[in-house]
Amino acid sequence: DIQMTQSPSTLSASVGDRVTITCRASQSVSKWLAWYQQKPGKAPKLLIYKVSTLESGVPSRFSGSGSGTEFTLTINSLQPDDFATYYCQQYNSYSTFGQGTKVEIK
């Protein structure tokens, strides 16, 4: 199974900050990497798929990059609505989620 490791597990930030979350795969997942946002009591919401393609309706302050085994989610100018938990997911071989990164208010 492909393991996905996110860092950090928790991130404290302020409104307006630029935030970066990293996701590393135990083996190459090619371009099959997605990012989700989840708020308490809600289902996850797809933000980005195929490493860097923004899902329709997702603000452009979210961006994704990377290849192979190392990927990054960047949020430019963090907004109040962005405080949530973020998950990466590989869907190259079966599927696996990272353990999540909680973005909290500093």
Binding site for another protein (CB under 8 A): 1, 34, 36, 38, 43-46, 49-50, 53, 55, 87, 89, 91, 94-100
For another protein, the closer of residues 37 and 82 by Cβ is 37
Nearer to another protein, 20 or 52 (CB): 52
* Sequence-distant (≥ 6) Cβ neighbours of residue 4 within 8 angstroms: 23, 24, 25, 26, 88, 89, 90, 96, 97, 98, 99
Least distance CB 14 / another protein (angstroms): 25
Q: How many CA atoms lie within 13 A of 64 on its CB side?
A: 26
Q: Where are the alpha helices (DSSP H) in the chain?
A: none
Query: How far apart are CB 65 and another protein at their closest, in Å?
Result: 16
Closest CB to another protein among residues 9, 77: 9
